[in-house]
Copies of this chain bind each other. A is one copy, B any other.
Amino acid sequence: MERIDGSTRLFGIIGDPIGAVRSPEVFNAMFMRQDVNAVMVPLHVGTADLRAVWTGLKAMRNLEGVVITMPHKTPAATLVDRLGRTATLIGSINAARREPDGRWQGDTFDGHGCVEGLRMRGHEVAGKGVFLLGVGGAGAAIAVALAEAGVARLVVQDTDAEKRDRILSRLTVAFPDVVLASGAIEDNAHVDVAINATPLGMKEDDPLPFDPALLDRSTLVVDIITKSTPLLERAALTGHRTHGGQHMHHGQAIGVARFFGFDLDAR
């Protein structure tokens, strides 16, 4: 922290609440390790103030980029000048950067983080069949990233049928080569990967999002929640391989860092 001086390049993370965000620690450790004179600071901003803060941030000439977290991911997508392909498809961003021409570019790395996290653990999704439960903000981003990564078949399910059908119709147009369907887990026992992208498992007494016992023993069971969840504990008992949310988070950080011009894992 003593290294911050007048020439330090600024990055921020905007959210509400902000206390639990991890990006400042991840990015500042990277800046230290790589001897980059930059810092990421938390910016606690309420929904009503997002537009005013955004205008201010754009006018700070040494501010190069921001990470965007809840509840700003969707409204922030309307504040940037340009959107990346995934952000355009799902209508939300989790990062924005100042371009050389002064415009702001936004994109989302939530979904790519999931795919990257799977790859880092040796799980390639290209050509595979995937079941995805939950297409809220994170789930929709994961659906797009899976399609972009070349899954052969993607089955999505959500308690909100309208939301489910909206993402399916967008994916149908954007990724004609992917076989898309909606359906229940019990009708999709043979998928290679089953992903929980709902919040079920965050709270102590949540029901299981789905029962891994319904799946083939070879199916990889994935949760995007970072702590150990009843789903993953149950999947271990039923003899399935499991993959926790920490890998997605690391994958997201890698994607955002690359978007900002850094290699997170470089020494």
What is the chain B residue whose CB lies nearest that of A25? B5
- Of the A-B pairs whose beta carbons lie under 8 Å apart in the complex, a sample of 14, sorted by A's number, is A1-B28, A2-B32, A4-B40, A6-B13, A8-B24, A18-B62, A39-B39, A43-B60, A46-B59, A49-B60, A52-B55, A54-B56, A56-B56, A56-B57
Query: For this complex, into which size category does the number of interface residues on chain A fall?
Result: 35 or more
What is the chain B residue whose CB lies nearest that of A3? B1
B19 touches A7 (CB 8 A): yes
Residues of B within 8 A of A44 (CB): 60-62
Residues of B within 8 A of A2 (CB): 1, 25, 28-29, 32
Decide if A45 is an interface residue (CB 8 Å cutoff): yes
Decide if A21 is an interface residue (CB 8 Å cutoff): yes
Residue-by-residue, is A52-74 near B (CB-CB < 8 Å gives 1, otherwise 0)? 11111101111100000000000
Decide if A89 is an interface residue (CB 8 Å cutoff): no
Bound together, the chains give a CA A10 to CA B40 distance in angstroms of: 11
Bound together, the chains give a CA A85 to CA B28 distance in angstroms of: 40
A4 touches B25 (CB 8 A): yes
Bound together, the chains give a CA A80 to CA B258 distance in angstroms of: 39
Decide if A152 is an interface residue (CB 8 Å cutoff): no
Residue-by-residue, is A17-48 near B (CB-CB < 8 Å gives 1, otherwise 0)? 11111101100110110000001111111100
Bound together, the chains give a CA A1 to CA B1 distance in angstroms of: 3
Residue-by-residue, is A95-115 near B (CB-CB < 8 Å gives 1, otherwise 0)? 000000000000000000000
Residues of B within 8 A of A59 (CB): 45-46, 49, 52-53, 56
Bound together, the chains give a CA A27 to CA B245 distance in angstroms of: 37
Q: How far is the CB of A171 from chain B (nearest CB, A)?
A: 34
